[in-house]
Structure 1
Amino acid sequence: MSEESALSMAQTGSQGVEENATEETQPAQVRSAYEPPEGDKLQPRDLTTEVAEEAETQADLPEMTDQAAELRSSGDDVATSTATVKVVLVPEGHVMTVAFAIGLSIGELKQHLASELRVPPEVLRVFLDGQVVEDQQVLMDLGVRPHGSTRMEMSSADPHTYPLRPIRPPEHDNMPDVITVRVQRGDECPTSSSNDFQQVVVEIQRPPQRKAFLGGYKHRVSGAVYHHASTQTLPQKRPDRGVEVVSRDAQTAEMKSQAQQCAADVGTQMTMIGCYVSCTNDKLVTPGAYTTAAEYHRCRLKAVICLQTAVRRWLAQEAVGHLKRDRDRRLAWMDAQEQRRIEEMEEQLHDRRRRWNNPERREDFNLLYNALEKWRKEEEERINTTLRGAERKAALCSLLDQEQEYIKTIGQRWIIFEKTNAARSLMNFLDKSATPIQWKSASGKQIEMDTLDTIRARELRDLYHDVSTSPIKQDNRLEVLTRLKRIIKEHDCELTRDLVDLVDREVDLMPRYTKASKLEGLRQRINTLLLQYIKTPSFNPQVAKMRKVPQDESRLKNKMLLCRSCKRYLPKSSFSPSLRSARDIRCRDCGRLDNIGRKREEVSCYKHFLKRLRLEELQLNKNSKIPFIMQVEDIRYLIDVIWSKQSALLDCYDLYNLVLVRWDKLKNWSPWNCILLSKEEAVAHDQLKDVYKAYEAEFVFRIEQRHLLAKQHFSEIPAIAEHMDLEPNAVLRNQLVSKPITTATGICATHTVAASDH
Structure 2
Amino acid sequence: MQADEGCKLSASWEQEGAALQEPPGEGLGLHEVMEDGNQGSDSFHDVAVKIERPTFRKPFLGGFKNRVTGVEFHNAGSQTVPKKRPEKGTTLFCRETQTALERNRYQQTTNPTSTQMTKRGVYVSNLTDKLITPGKYFTAEEYHKRRLEAVIVLQKNFRRWYARKIVENLKEKKRLRLAWEAQEELRKKKEKEDKLRMEQERKLNPKTKEDFDLLYHALECWRQEETERINRTLSGAERKAALCGLLEEETELIASIGRHKLNADKDNQQKAVLHFLDKCAQPKRWKAFDGKITEMDTQYTLRARELLEIYRSVSMNDIPNDERRDLLLLIRGTVKVPPDPLKLYKNVHFCRSCENYLPATEFPIPANSRTIGRCHLCCKLDNEARRRESFLKYRLILENLRKSEADYQDDARIVFLVQQQHLQYMIENIWGCQSALSACSDLYDLVMVRWDKQQEWSPWNTILLTKDEADAHLKLHNLQEAYEASFIHGIKHKHIRAKKYFAQIPVMASLFHRSDKQANAS
Same fold (TM over 0.5): yes
Match of 2:14 in 1: none
- Find the counterpart in structure 1 of residue 106 from structure 2: 264
The structure with higher relative contact order (CA 8 Å, sep 6+) is 1
- Establish whether residue 581 from structure 1 lines up as the match of residue 430 from structure 2: no
Which range moves more in the overlay, 679-688 or 435-444?
435-444
The 3 A distance-change label for structure 1 pair 439 and 344 is: closer
Residue type of the partner of 1:660?
A: M
SS in structure 1 at match of 2:244: helix
Contact 1:441 1:447 in 2 (8 A): no
1:721/1:573 Cα in 2 relative to 1: closer, same or farther (>3 Å)?
farther
Structure 1 residue 351 and structure 2 residue 198: aligned?
yes
Q: Which residue of 1 aligns with 2:516?
A: 733
Counterpart of 1:659 in 2: which secondary structure? Answer: strand
For residues 368 and 326 of structure 1, the distance between their equivalents in structure 2, rounded to whole angstroms, comes to 47
Matches within 5 A, 1:385-424: 385-424=232-271
Question: 1:289 matched to which residue of 2?
Answer: 136
Q: In the superposition, relative to structure 1, how do residues 278 and 603 fare at CA in structure 2: closer, same or farther (>3 Å)? A: same
Kept after mapping to 2: 8 A contact 1:646/1:676? yes
2:24 equivalent in structure 1: none
1:446 partnered with 2:295: yes
Partner of 1:607: 395
Q: Which amino acid aligns with 1:578?
A: P
Name the amino acid aligned to 2:477: K
- Is 1:464 the equivalent of 2:314? yes
The aligned counterpart of 1:702 is 490
1:644 to 432, 437, 450: 432
Distance in 1, Cα, partners of 2:367 & 2:519: 17
The code of the aligned residue for 1:575 comes to F
Work out whether 1:342 is the aligned partner of 2:189: yes
- Decide whether the 8 Å contact of 2:349 with 2:357 is kept in 1: yes
Question: 1:678 is matched by which residue type in structure 2?
Answer: T
Q: CA deviation at 1:279?
A: 9.3
Distance in 2, matches of 1:488 and 1:353, equals: 44
How far the C-alpha of 1:733 sits from its partner, in A, is 1.6
Relative to the length of structure 1, the TM-score reads 0.48
Q: Distance in 1 between matches of 2:449 and 2:178?
A: 26
- Paired residue secondary structure (1:661): strand
1:564 deviation in Å? 4.5
Give unmatched runs, 5+ long, in structure 2: 1-96, 110-114, 120-125
CA contact (8 A) 2:217 2:389 kept: yes
Of 303, 323, 338 in structure 2, the residue corresponding to residue 483 of structure 1 is: 323
> What is the aligned partner in structure 2 of residue 189 from structure 1?
none
Q: Distance in 2 between matches of 1:487 and 1:278?
A: 131
Q: Give the aligned length.
A: 407
1:330 is aligned to 177
TM-score normalised according to structure 2 size: 0.68
Match of 1:23 in 2: none
Q: Distance in 2 between matches of 1:404 and 1:534?
A: 48
User: 1:297 and 1:721, CA in 2 relative to 1: closer, same or farther beyond 3 A?
Assistant: farther
Instruction: Work out whether residues 625 and 721 of structure 1, in 8 Å CA contact, stay in contact via their aligned partners in 2.
Output: no
Cα distance in 2 for residues equivalent to 1:593 and 1:719: 30
Give the 5 Å matches for 1:676-755.
Answer: 676-715=464-503, 719-720=507-508, 731-733=514-516, 735=518
Aligned equivalents of 1:590 and 1:638: distance in 2? 24
State how far apart, in whole Å, the 1-side matches of 2:276 and 2:165 are.
Answer: 69
Answer with 1 or 2: which has the greater Rg. Answer: 2
1:324: Cα distance to partner? 2.1
Q: What is the SS of the residue equivalent to 2:514?
A: coil
Distance (Å, rounded) in 2 between the aligned partners of 1:387 and 1:299: 96
**2:452–2:461: 8 Å Cα contact kept in structure 1?**
yes
Mapping of 1:166-245 within 5 angstroms? none
What is the SS of the residue equivalent to 2:370? coil
Shift in CA distance, 734/657, structure 1 to aligned 2, threshold 3 Å = farther
Does residue 673 (structure 1) correspond to residue 461 (structure 2)? The answer is yes
Note the 1:122-133 alignment, pairs <5 A: none
Residues 366-419 of structure 1 deviation map (CA, whole Å, 9 limit, x = unaligned): 111100001111111111111111111111111111111111111111111122
Task: State yes or no: 1:594 paired with 2:443.
Answer: no
Distance 1:687 1:337, change over 3 A: same
Question: How far does the alpha carbon of each residue in 1:611-648 deviate from its partner, in whole angstroms, 9 at most, with x for none?
Answer: 11112222234422222111111111111000111222
- Alpha-carbon distance between aligned partners in 2 of 1:448 and 1:591, rounded to the nearest angstrom: 39
Unaligned ranges ≥5, structure 1: 1-255, 268-275, 472-476, 491-529, 539-543, 545-549, 724-728, 739-758
Match of 2:335 in 1: 536
Q: 1:261 to 1:565 in 2, by over 3 A?
A: farther
CA distance in 2, matches of 1:686, 1:411: 46
SS in 2 for 1:645: coil
Q: In 2 relative to 1, CA 261–360 (structure 1 residues): closer, same or farther, beyond 3 Å?
A: farther
